[in-house]
Amino acid sequence: MKFTSSKFKISTPPKAYMIYFISPDSWDIFCVFNVRKQHLLFHCTDKNTDFPQKVNTSSLTGNNYKCSSDWLLNQGKCYWFSTSFKTWKESQHDCEKLQAHLLVIHDLKELIFIQNTIKPGHLGWIGLHITSEGNLWTWIDEHFLDPQLFLVIGPTDEKSCAIMTGSQVYSEDCNSRFNGICQKDTV
């Protein structure tokens, strides 16, 4: 089958299909569904959301992972981006109330997913902080940061916690106020 246009010819069918959806109830949601190689990707935005809602399910036919409403799904984990400005400790407490924890990143795929999800100019607390013993960056699951994964820019004193942007991770005073990024396993 050939797909043609007045300006160009395509000899192979497209590798992805797009469907656009606008909610008739609110008229403020826009979704793009992209089916490619048995993976479903979709992107929805809402005028009240600071972060784009991007979801990557592992397959259309298997591994039907699910996340609660307002959470994003990626590789068997759910992510929630707070819109409240709170300290690192307050953000961790908010995550715990949602049966989650501040974001912990142990692999490159997860790092890339999070960095691609954060809107330009937005920041979020992650579950990385300096411990009093040795001034080492430590995740809330008590693993040390792998410096091969990324480096934290800024000071490393006992009041330092990490914030993430779409491209970097920075050291910040734990009592500063930023949004938090929560993470939990799928349901």
How far lies 77's CA from each of 20, 66, 90, 102, in Å?
26, 9, 22, 13
Give the pTM. Answer: 0.67
Give the H or E element holding residue 99. none
Beta-carbon count within 10 A of 20 CB: 8
Beta-carbon count within 10 A of 55 CB: 18
Q: What is d(CA 163, CA 181) in angstroms, rounded to the nearest whole number? A: 9
* Domains in the chain, CATH or no CATH each: 1-48 (no CATH), 66-185 (3.10.100.10)
Buried b (16+ CB within 10 A) or exposed e, 89-111: ebbbebbeeeebbbbebeeeebb
Provide the residue count of the chain: 187
Q: What is the pLDDT along the chain (187 residues), one digit of tens a residue?
A: 333 333 434 344 444 333 333 334 333 333 333 333 333 333 343 333 344 444 444 333 346 778 988 899 998 999 999 999 999 999 999 999 999 999 999 999 999 999 999 888 889 999 999 987 778 999 999 999 999 999 999 988 889 999 999 999 999 999 999 999 999 998 7
Q: What is the DSSP secondary structure assignment for residue 142, as one 8-state letter? A: S
